[in-house]
Amino acid sequence: MKNPIDAIVLAATGLSVVVVLSGDNPGGPAFAAGQNATEPLSRTYRVTRADDVEFQKIEPFKVFDNLYYVGPGYVSVWLLTTPDGNILFDTAQEPYVDSVIANIRKMGVDPKTIKYIILSHGHLDHFGGAARIQEASGARVAAAEEDWKMIEQVGSRPGRGGAPAPRVPKRDMVVKEGDTLTLGGQALTFHLTPGHTPGVVTTEGITVYDGGKPYRAIVWGGAGYRGGLTEAEQSVQSANKVAQIQGVQVNLQIHSWAEDTGYPGGGVLERGLMLKSRKPGDPHPFVDPATFTQWVKKSQDNAARAVQQEKQKAGR
Ligand SMILES: [Zn+2]
């Protein structure tokens, strides 16, 4: 395709250098401390105050030169900026969408500069804001075929407690295995990593910059297994696929907490606090390839165990 802004192409492309955006560091996260001195933020936002809407509306924070956390406390929304327009990973859901849009603005970014919204998978907490953010931005919305079907189903049924059906984005870009997206020096590659849902999208090849120094980041679009032998087997294959992605230094988690037992060394908010108190010369708390490798291995083990359990259940 001729226009790099709309270049989702099947060929893999190499990384190239992007112009590092300047801008003031707006400071660290302004989210509240844990429920008590011993409870990690991950648990507070995931469990203890999961339903406290105002508490969940946290201040956005800059994580890298070109990457911002703009979501509520329990589910991630990542804003990746480039000189040619911006990319949003996931959208959160109501009643948080106004807060997400406000957070984008607080980071000095006009929502109209968002060119793409990449949906990790077809669960409402991740795609529920996509329709409104698409309207506010004019962005293209990308998801896998199977999860576009899930999104369409959610949009055709009443919501919880007989509420009107949630607004959902119209089917737009359909991501296939190995598709790439180039924009403003970013060269992203998408993988289908089903299991958590039938059409999980994992994005690799994201380049984030810390004081101009590049690091390779990933959005693993959903690792947790939610029942069923087929799904368990898919999650084994998907974890194996992620394990083959080389050189991941930064894990952009789709929730501030990680699946099941938390993310070793802290989830997004714990690391956000570390970032806030970072001294010049300290390592960046989100650059942690060892923990990512460990987490992928654990996910492979969990998925393999799930297959065994499903087989036992089925008496096979
Ligand atoms: Zn999910």
Q: Write out pLDDT tens, residues 6-36.
A: 333 322 222 222 222 223 333 444 565 555 5
The DSSP bridge pattern shows strands 86-89 and 114-118 to be: parallel
Task: State the chain's maximal CA–CA distance in angstroms.
Answer: 60
* CA 150 to ligand 1 centroid distance, Å: 12
Q: List, for residues 159-178, the tens digit of each pLDDT value.
A: 888 889 999 999 999 999 99
Q: Could you tell me if 41 and 50 are in contact, meaning their C-beta atoms sit under 8 angstroms apart?
A: no
* CA 282 to ligand 1 centroid distance, Å: 34
* CA 124 to ligand 1 centroid distance, Å: 8
> For 46-74, b where at least 16 C-beta lie within 10 A, e where not — what string?
beebeeeeebbbbbbbbbbbbbbbbbbbb
Q: Which two tokens stand for residue 36?
A: 């008590």
* 3-state class (DSSP) for residue 250: strand
Q: What is the pLDDT of residue 31?
A: 62
**Which residues touch 213 (CB under 8 Å, ≥6 apart)?**
none
Q: What is the pLDDT of residue 7?
A: 32
* 3-state class (DSSP) for residue 130: helix
Q: What is the pLDDT of residue 258?
A: 74
* CA 121 to ligand 1 centroid distance, Å: 7
* CA 204 to ligand 1 centroid distance, Å: 19
Half-sphere exposure of 24 (CA within 13 A, CB side): 5
* CA 196 to ligand 1 centroid distance, Å: 6
The pTM (predicted TM-score) of the whole model is 0.88
Q: List, for residues 31-68, the tens digit of each pLDDT value.
A: 655 555 678 888 889 988 989 999 999 999 999 999 99
State the Cα–Cα distance between residues 132 and 101, nearest whole angstrom.
Answer: 9
* CA 2 to ligand 1 centroid distance, Å: 35
* CA 197 to ligand 1 centroid distance, Å: 7
